[in-house]
Amino acid sequence: MSDSDDEVPQLSAETMAALQEFYSSQAKTQSSESESQGSNISENWNLSQFWYDEVTSDILAKEALEVAGESGRIACVSSPTLYQKLQQVKPPSCTTILLEFDKRFSVYGDDFVFYDYNAPLELSNLQQHSFDVVIADPPYLAEECLKKTAQTIKYLTKGKIILCTGAVMLEIAQDLLGVTVCPFIPHHTRNLANEFRCYANFQTHFLNTDNR
C-alpha cells in the first residue's frame, strides 16, 4: 500500500458541485412528494387520531373553500389533515387556522392555535364570530366532548358549521348545533369500527353526494 491509499479521497470542485446539485434536487423531490401525499405526521391513537383519506380531505376542503370564498376565513378544529389539504388547494388570500391539541402541528407556525376542548373558550386572541366556516372533528364520541367543542364552534363561526363525527352523535349534534346529516360519508386511511358522518347547518355543494 502506498501512503496515498490512507488518504481521504478528494473530489474535484466540478464533481463536488455536481453532487451538491444532485442532493439538492433529490431533497426538493422528496419534500414535494410528501406534501402531495398529505400528512407525514403519524396517527397517535392515544389522542384519538384517525386521519381522513385523500378523497375525504379533498371534498371537505372544496366545501370549505366554496363557503368561505377567495378571501374567506376557515377554522379547522381538531382536523389537521383538512388543514393540510387546504394548504395545498386554497388561494393565498384565504386564511386558515388549525386549532389542535397535538403540538407536533405547531410546525404550522402562526396558523397553529393550541386547543384543548376541556377549555373551549381559551382560544388565544381569536375574535368571536370571525370565521366564515368552522369545521370540527372532536376526538371522542361523547356528549361532554361534543358539548364543549360546540361552544368553541359557536364562538368562532359567523354562522356556517361542518361537523364530522360518529353516526351515534346525530341527535346531540342536531340539538347543540342545528346541523343535519349530509349524504357524503367521510372515510379514513384506516377502517374504523364506528360509523362516521358529516353534518352541516347549511345546504352543502360537495357533501350532498352519497358516496356509499
Ligand X SMILES: C[S@@+](CC[C@H](N)C(=O)[O-])C[C@H]1O[C@@H](n2cnc3c(N)ncnc32)[C@H](O)[C@@H]1O
Give rounded-to-5 percent helix, strand, coil for the chain: 40, 20, 40
Amino acid in position 143: E
The correct pick among 67, 72, 96, 117 for binding ligand X (CB under 6 A) is 117
Query: Under the criterion CB under 6 A, does residue 96 sit at the interface with ligand X?
Result: no
What's 109's DSSP letter?
G
- Rounded CA separation 165/196 (Å): 5
Check if the beta carbon of residue 167 is closer than 8 Å to that of residue 183.
no
Q: Which stretch binds ligand X (CB under 6 A): 14-22, 77-85, 153-161, 203-211?
A: 77-85
The correct pick among 48, 95, 130, 151 for binding ligand X (CB under 6 A) is 48
The correct pick among 95, 102, 147, 180 for binding ligand X (CB under 6 A) is 102
The nearest distance, CB 120 to ligand X, in angstroms, is: 9
Total chain residues near ligand X (CB under 6 A): 19
The correct pick among 111, 139, 147, 158 for binding ligand X (CB under 6 A) is 139
Residues pairing with 197 in the sheet: 165
For residue 41, CA distances in Å to 14, 34, 157 come to 38, 10, 28
Closer residue to ligand X, CB minimum distance, 194 or 209: 194
Query: Under the criterion CB under 6 A, does residue 151 sit at the interface with ligand X?
Result: no
Closer residue to ligand X, CB minimum distance, 41 or 180: 41
Contact code string over 169-188 relative to ligand X, x by CB under 6 A:
--------------------
H helix count then E strand count, the chain: 5, 7
Specify burial of residue 191 (Cβ count, 10 A radius: 0-12, 13-18, 19+): exposed
What's 187's DSSP letter?
-
The correct pick among 51, 131, 184, 199 for binding ligand X (CB under 6 A) is 51
Closer residue to ligand X, CB minimum distance, 20 or 34: 34
- Rounded CA separation 176/161 (Å): 12
- Rounded CA separation 84/80 (Å): 6
The correct pick among 65, 78, 157, 201 for binding ligand X (CB under 6 A) is 78
Query: Under the criterion CB under 6 A, does residue 52 sit at the interface with ligand X?
Result: yes
The correct pick among 72, 94, 115, 123 for binding ligand X (CB under 6 A) is 115
